[in-house]
Amino acid sequence: MNEYGTKKIVSVTEADAGKRVDVFLSAALGMSRSAVQQLLDASAVQCSGHTVSKSLRTEAGNVFSVQLPPVRECEVLPENIPLDIVYEDEHIVVVNKPQGMVVHPAPGHTEGTLVSALLYHAGSSLSDINGVIRPGIVHRIDRDTSGLIVVAKNNAAHISLAAQLADHSMYRIYSAILRGRIDAAGTVDASIGRHKTDRKKMAVLRDGGRHAVTHYEPIRPLTGHTLCRLKLETGRTHQIRVHMSYIGHPVLGDPVYGGGQTPFEKKHPALFHGQCLHAGEISFVHPASGEQVTFRCDPPQDFMRVLSLLDQE
């Protein structure tokens, strides 16, 4: 467990020389790279009395002094919320998250989260690398997207899964109903960042942003729409929704990025509780066994009903 509120001293050996400082400290401290980067940004990491920049490469003999943040009181409470558990062992739990559920607490969403349900289900048997607000959480999917999330039940599992996310060896496949006709498979390779004028949205950016790649493949045509299979190579916020809107085929039921308020949606409002986007497959190397494991789950009933109706029209 991380020693919050203390100063940690970490030395670099020959074996660790030449590594990026965030990569090295992440492994040495048992923290996520994003958490280490936040410490670097906050000037909480020093070497020989000097603040360390994120671009630094380690050298044998470097001694880093890291001021860890103090423990915060837990701001999220366990809640008895049913979970659709696809798989569970002592290291991981794979959950099929329903539409409408927020993964972890955020402003305006402090109750009814996946984290609250996990705390009730697993208690303290969740990794603590991401702090008290996101115990066990390695990756996320949007509130109004359904599908599979793998959760870490200890820090070793968390580090393994986070590394697989970072090097893209963990893959996630989505099903989506997209507006318009798509006849051929393709790839969107376009950086994503915060929208220039609407800070609640993400957007494809020509300058800046984070590298993002989405592969898409049409599965079958529907009336005015296409059922597609999408594979994420990266995992940026709202990535599929932004990329598909960017190529002119937004996800049906997504008003934020141009897929909502269609004639079909207005005709069948009871079927739409979010976008028609489902994370139906996830594959990764099991943190303990070292074996490749793959988990799948079907889209929710409303998604399947929309498919059926679009087939008939």
Catalytic residues: 142
Q: Report the alpha-carbon distance of residue 194 to residue 203 in Å, rounded.
A: 6
Give the pairing type, strands 277-285 and 146-152. Answer: parallel
